[in-house]
Structure 1
Amino acid sequence: MELNQLFKIQEVIENHIKKLSDIDENVVGEENVFDLKFLALQVKTAEIANLTKCYKYYKIKENIPREKLIIRYIDAMKFLLSIGNAHGFNIINNDAIEAVEKSDNIIKLFSNIFDDIRDLKKLILQQDYVNSLSVYIRLFARYINLGECLGLSFEEVYDYYLKNNCLSV
């Protein structure tokens, strides 16, 4: 698992988008860009939960098209990577991720992920880098764990991300 490669690719993608769009981030405002990234991560994560219907205890799970699931998963991951790049958390490695306890309860994972997103945002605003980094690592690990619970190996996600997002890194 090459996490640094994902962070680099996401940075290249965002720089490419900034060049193509005429939106000046200074006009939008740094605070708004910050809030937008966190809101987007929450929305994209919620889209995965909606796709799985895991929150509907009375409903039988349907087979979700794998391509659709991996696309939604990567859509959220892009914002997770973007937040990591923006706040210097792109230094994390596999050992840090592996140290976080895993769960096989998808409902708890979604709930914990949303709690971590909230906590991370709060800690960043308090300029508490050490605790922010700790929460980011936990969030990233839980996000990978979520993919595994959905039947997506990190290698599969990584390969799909590279195949569909490499501009010319």
Structure 2
Amino acid sequence: MILSEMFENQEKLDKYIMSNVEEEITLEELYSNRILAAMVELAEVSNASRCFKYWSKKESEPKERVLDELADVMHFILSIGNMIAKDIIEEYNFNPVCSYSDTVNQLINLNRICAWLQAIKDLDLYVNVMENFLGLVILMGFEFKDLEIAYYKKQEVNYQRQRENY
């Protein structure tokens, strides 16, 4: 997975999206919106994987659906990184971190770190988010190549949605 290219592609998509936004939005509002969007997408990963639904006998959604939700999270994590430290983040060497051995606690941890990141724009906290997200991808049984393919596939969908005034 070539993260530097993904950061660049995300920046292009974000600029395209912002060129279609009609109302004024401050950088602070945009930052908070992206943090919340990442957290919402993490909740959608949780829901699609059903990892926390101990009371249900239904299986997880198909792996493609879970991967699609992970790609949505990736879009927002890349956007946030571009806002925090665009000049240096592309060259950063991220290593997956599994802070927990199970997806439920990994997801809770990611939400906690995202909340901190909203309050404190800090490069180290951002790195923690990215690395724990990459750890989540591993815990969920995916390869980074799977995530990369899903990311670019979803990026095309996002461009199409913008063209269709989504």
Q: Is this a same-fold pair by TM over 0.5?
A: yes
Partner of 1:88: 85
CA contact (8 A) 2:98 2:135 kept: no
Q: Which amino acid aligns with 2:12?
A: V
Residue number among 39, 43, 47 corresponding to 1:42 in the alignment: 39
Rounded to whole Å, the distance in 1 between the matches of 2:137 and 2:128 is: 14
Q: CA distance change for structure 1 residues 22 and 54 in 2, over 3 Å: closer, same or farther?
A: closer
Residue-by-residue CA offset, 1:104-140 (whole Å, 9 max, x unaligned): 311110111011101111211xxxxxxx111111111
For 1:58, the equivalent position in structure 2 comes to: 55
Q: How does 1:106-125 map to 2 (within 5 A)?
A: 106-124=103-121
- Are the aligned partners of 1:38 and 1:117 in contact in 2 as well (CA < 8 Å)? yes
3-state SS in 2 of match to 1:97 = coil
| Kept after mapping to 2: 8 A contact 1:103/1:145 | no
Aligned residues: CA RMSD:
2.1
2:4 counterpart of 1:13: no
Q: Which runs of 5+ in 1 are unaligned?
A: 125-131
* Residue type at the aligned position of 1:142: N
Q: Which of 61, 65, 69 is matched with 2:66 structurally? A: 69
Q: Counterpart in 2 of 1:136?
A: 126
- Counterpart Cα distance in 1 of 2:59 and 2:91: 35
Q: Distance in 2 between matches of 1:75 and 1:69?
A: 10
Structure 2 residues without counterparts, runs of 5 or longer:
160-166
Q: Distance in 2 between matches of 1:65 and 1:164?
A: 16
Structure 1 distance, partners of 2:85, 2:154, is 25
Name segments (4+ residues, structure 1) moved above 6 Å.
none
Structure 1 residues 92 and 45: alpha-carbon distance in aligned structure 2, compared to 1, 3 A threshold:
farther
1:152 aligns with 2:142: yes
Letter in 2 for 1:120: L
Change (3 A) 1:61 1:87: same
Q: Deviations over 1:20-79 (max 9, x none)?
A: x1425xx22222212211111111111111112222222235042122111111111111
Aligned length: 155
In the superposition, the TM-score normalised over structure 2's length comes to: 0.82
Mapped partners of 1:81, 1:71: distance in 2: 15
Deviates further, 152-161 or 71-80: 152-161
